[in-house]
Amino acid sequence: DAGVTQSPTHLIKTRGQQVTLRCSPKSGHDTVSWYQQALGQGPQFIFQYYEEEERQRGNFPDRFSGHQFPNYSSELNVNALLLGDSALYLCASSLGGGQVNIQYFGAGTRLSVL
């Protein structure tokens, strides 16, 4: 049973560029959440997708956008990259129903902005 998979594992970009990160959820899961984790910090919630719609969003600018496909996989897009966007980007999947949703994480994409 494949867990959450993310690609690529590492990425180097320059300021002003755009980047797309990809995530395939754990088998049977229909909800994908994205997090940004700076070095030495806990993950910060970016947004969540369910039924191809953005269901909730954290305190991130509109430069961060996403998409969910019919097969539940998801993309995170970041435009006009800043040095401060350098971080580990984590994708987590869960089941959309129920009161408490345990989220299972992928290994992340390490983004470096130069």
Partner 1 sequence: EDQVTQSPEALRLQEGESSSLNCSYTVSGLRGLFWYRQDPGKGPEFLFTLYSAGEEKEKERLKATLTKKESFLHITAPKPEDSATYLCAVQALGSSASKIIFGSGTRLSIRP
Residues that bind partner 1 (CB under 8 A): 4, 31, 33, 35, 40-45, 48, 50, 55-56, 58, 90, 92, 94, 96, 99-108, 110
List CB contacts of 67: < 8 A, sequence separation 6 or more.
49, 52, 74, 75, 77
Q: Which residue, among 52, 3, 34, 28, has the nearest Cα to 109 in the 3D structure?
A: 34
State the nearest-atom distance from the C-beta of 88 to partner 1, in Å. Answer: 8
Residue 13 or residue 58: which is nearer to partner 1 going by CB? 58
**Shortest spacing between CB 4 and partner 1, in angstroms:** 7
* 76 close to 32: Cβ distance less than 8 angstroms: no
Least distance between partner 1 and beta carbon 93 (Å): 10
Coil vs helix vs strand at 7: strand
Residue corresponding to tokens 């600018």: 61
If the CB atoms of residues 18 and 90 are measured against partner 1, the closer one turns out to be 90
Instruction: Compute the least distance from the CB of residue 98 to partner 1, in Å.
Output: 9
Give the N- to C-terminal CA distance of the chain in Å, as an integer: 37
Between 22 and 110, whose beta carbon lies closer to partner 1? Answer: 110
